[in-house]
Amino acid sequence: QVQLQESGPRLVKPSQTLSLTCTVSGGSVARGGYYWGWVRQHPGKGLEWIGYIYYSGETFYNPSLKSRLNISLDKSKNQISLRLNAVTAADTAVYYCARSEVGESSPQDYWGQGTLVTVSS
């Protein structure tokens, strides 16, 4: 059973960098067949795809965030990370780590529980 767990600071100051880590168990970020990525949800709102990374290191980002975004993976720790620079209050959201199967449809089939990150001074 694949499990994903997000971790990181819950409060970030405006203009600083939001950093989250997703630890994967029951699966490997070092093997092909899956994308590992992030989806966020603003309070009371819908879902926004942030981006994902393949085991090769190839990344796919939402153009709306691309200039501020970095997703990386650490194969030795079986983790992926999210860094979002120059945050504002508009980046306050629940951030989910999720796995997508490569192939047709590529839905997010496993999700972390999510972590609320608040951007505030």
- Listed ranges 19-27, 75-83, 84-92, 97-105: which one lies at the site for other proteins (CB under 8 A): 97-105
Based on the shown chain and the rule CB under 8 A, indicate whether residue 3 belongs to the binding site for other proteins. no
CB of 14 to other proteins, least distance (A): 25
d(CA 27, CA 44): 31
Q: Which is nearer to other proteins, 76 or 105 (CB)?
A: 105
What are the E-state strand segments in the chain?
3-7, 11-12, 18-25, 34-41, 47-54, 59-61, 69-74, 79-84, 93-101, 108-111, 115-119
CB of 98 to other proteins, least distance (A): 8
CB of 47 to other proteins, least distance (A): 4
Q: Which is nearer to other proteins, 16 or 23 (CB)?
A: 23
Contacting residues for 34 by C-beta, under 8 A, at least 6 apart: 27, 55, 99, 100, 101, 102
Which has the closest alpha carbon to 5: 93, 79, 72, 82? Answer: 79
d(CA 10, CA 12): 7
Site for other proteins in 24-83 (CB under 8 A): 39, 46-49, 60, 62-64
Based on the shown chain and the rule CB under 8 A, indicate whether residue 106 belongs to the binding site for other proteins. yes
Q: Of 34, 36, 38, 96, which one interacts with other proteins (CB under 8 A)?
A: 96
